[in-house]
Amino acid sequence: MGIKDILSGGIDKTLTSVKNVITTFVPDKGLQQQINAEIERQATEVKLKQLELMETAIKAEVDDRADARQLYRESIKSDDVFIRRFPMILAATITAMSGLILIGLIFFKIPDSNRDILNISLGTLIGGGLVAVINFYFGSSYERKHKE
């Protein structure tokens, strides 16, 4: 199931509910068909707009990552050791923190009062930070698909 399915699924469920209401409260079959046709037309417009917005958001994310990679290329040329190594230090720190929290959750007894905050931290680090690091250094499948 892709993003398109998730987005259109909400519209489709709402559309079905509205059609059921129309069938229940509008006795004239011809009027029901007219209303349903208009609702279908408007739902299609909304779906197309959602797809356009989703494409714009994905393009912006890809462009942003390309800008970050260009900045990285420029920082590697710097004479300052810290500037040259900062992206690698940040990536290593995010990776290490994710690993340490995961190891802590697996091998150590964590008090119940702290378990939730560690789970949230791990989810944030892996879901946001670690995935961003991997996409930054190795690219994303979206970019690879659209380069061809």
Q: Is residue 2 helix, strand or coil?
A: coil
Note the pLDDT of residue 92: 92
Q: Which residues of 116-145 are buried (b: 16+ CB within 10 A; e: fewer)?
A: eebeeebeebbeebbeebebbeeebeeeee
Given 77, 100, 119, the domain boundary residue is 77
Domain extent, residue 7, equals: 1-77
Domain total in the chain: 2
CA distance 49 to 28: 32
State whether 73 and 84 are in the same domain. no
Query: In this structure, are residues 122 and 105 in contact, taking their beta carbons and an 8 Å threshold?
Result: yes
Question: What is the mean pLDDT, run by run of 10 residues, along the chain of 148 residues?
Answer: 53 80 86 88 87 88 76 84 87 89 85 85 86 79 55
Note the pLDDT of residue 27: 87
Structure tokens at 113: 């009062």
Note the pLDDT of residue 70: 80
Given 77, 105, 137, the domain boundary residue is 77
State whether 71 and 85 are in the same domain. no
